[in-house]
């Protein structure tokens, strides 16, 4: 395959073409992804986001990986929607800890209109702190998307989870088209989209290619593209399957391939290392950054699963000569002093 043209984002990828990227020799694939990344971003910068579960547990969906589903016994207790003042205080702590974007997640199948006033207060308060705002609240109607936009919401997360062929093995309570419809409502309201998926759920490489093909052929590429590694939770069907096998959810090199292909087919997206990072070695994370990942979640926790602590991330950034997006690059004199 010829060298990718990093200057020309495209929406006409075929599934076979995306799968062919996965099949490239590993070194060639990472080189091409790194070249695409450098054409659009500073490779030394990584965006820091923090995610808070503002309504935990009791979700009516049966997503086979999720600890928050009411269908599974995972020991997680359902909670009510948090008060706006508490969420804003958490956002202030996140900002003071270095986060640039604050994401609010609620375990709902769909947003209810009765919850919009409280959510609007959260969003407005977080926005006033100078943070980018993001929310993931399940399915939306066009009017709900507009109201969230009016409240100051910058990004809306709604993942496709996996490719369309494997989707039925993951969830049956919401269709693939319903996910695509919510994304369309978000775009039509003028918000940025955050959309990606989960790998390591028993899917094939072609299924992973199918997920990235769907994202790359949307009317506009996701502004943020999270790649989650399955965190196996006891009590969930997909988690129990991995735990019973006694293996890792996905091979590390295959994970890097997924990051690299995501960078190539969606060259202007923020490709985010999301769930599963707590289990990744420093070397694996370094390879992911080399292959085009330029966003991570921080804060020690991602909804209900663990993340590395601030000290670990600070040391990783120091050792890899990375810096938070927007931070000033160190001067040669400062580098020499170290």
Catalogue the active-site residues. 59, 63, 66, 103, 134, 194, 272
The CA-based diameter of the chain, rounded to the nearest angstrom, is 58
What does the alpha-carbon distance between residue 219 and residue 108 come to, in Å, rounded to a whole number?
A: 26
Q: What is the DSSP string of 173-223?
A: SS-HHHHHHHHHHHHHTTPEEE--EEE-SS--HHHHHHHHHHHHTSSS--S
Backbone angles phi, psi at 264, to 5 degrees: -70, -45
What does the alpha-carbon distance between residue 284 and residue 298 come to, in Å, rounded to a whole number?
A: 17
CA distances 77 to 52, 125, 190, 217, Å, are 16, 27, 35, 38
CA distances 167 to 16, 312, 336, Å, are 19, 35, 52
Contact 131, 100 (CB under 8 A): yes
Contact 191, 153 (CB under 8 A): yes
Backbone angles phi, psi at 54, to 5 degrees: -90, -10
CA distances 13 to 181, 213, 243, 264, Å, are 21, 7, 35, 11
Length of the chain: 338
Nearest residue to 54 (alpha-carbon basis) of 131, 135, 143, 124: 135
User: 301-302 and 101-106 as β-strands: parallel, antiparallel, unpaired?
Assistant: unpaired
């Amino acid at each position: 395959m010829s060298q990718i043209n990093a200057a020309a984002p495209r929406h006409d990828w075929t599934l076979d073409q995306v799968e062919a990227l996965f099949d490239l020799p590993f070194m060639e694939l990472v080189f091409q992804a790194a070249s695409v990344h450098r054409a659009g971003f500073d490779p030394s910068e990584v965006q820091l986001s923090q995610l808070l579960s503002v309504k935990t547990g009791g979700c009516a969906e049966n997503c086979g990986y999720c600890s928050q589903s009411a269908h599974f016994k995972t020991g997680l207790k359902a909670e009510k929607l948090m008060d706006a003042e508490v969420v804003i205080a958490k956002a202030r702590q996140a900002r003071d800890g270095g986060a640039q974007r604050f994401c609010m997640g609620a375990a709902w199948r769909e947003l209810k209109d009765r919850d919009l006033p409280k959510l609007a207060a959260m969003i407005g308060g977080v926005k006033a702190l100078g943070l980018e705002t993001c929310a993931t609240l399940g399915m939306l109607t066009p009017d709900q998307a507009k109201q969230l936009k009016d409240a100051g919401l910058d990004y809306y997360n709604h993942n496709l989870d996996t490719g369309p062929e494997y989707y039925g093995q993951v969830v049956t309570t919401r269709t693939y088209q319903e996910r695509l419809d919510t994304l369309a409502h978000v775009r039509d309201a003028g918000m940025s989209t955050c959309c990606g998926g989960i790998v390591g759920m028993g899917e094939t490489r072609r299924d992973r290619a199918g997920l990235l093909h769907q994202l790359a052929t949307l009317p506009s590429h996701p502004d943020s593209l999270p790649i989650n590694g399955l965190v196996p939770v006891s009590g969930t069907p997909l988690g129990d399957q991995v735990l019973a096998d006694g293996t890792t959810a996905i091979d590390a090199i295959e994970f890097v391939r997924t990051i690299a292909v995501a960078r190539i087919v969606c060259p202007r997206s923020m490709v985010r290392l999301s769930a599963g990072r707590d289990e990744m070695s420093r070397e694996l994370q370094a390879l992911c950054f080399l292959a085009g990942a330029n966003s991570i979640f921080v804060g020690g926790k991602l909804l209900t699963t663990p993340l590395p602590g601030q000290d670990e991330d600070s040391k990783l950034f120091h050792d890899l000569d990375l810096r938070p997006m927007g931070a000033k690059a160190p001067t040669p004199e400062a580098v020499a002093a170290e």
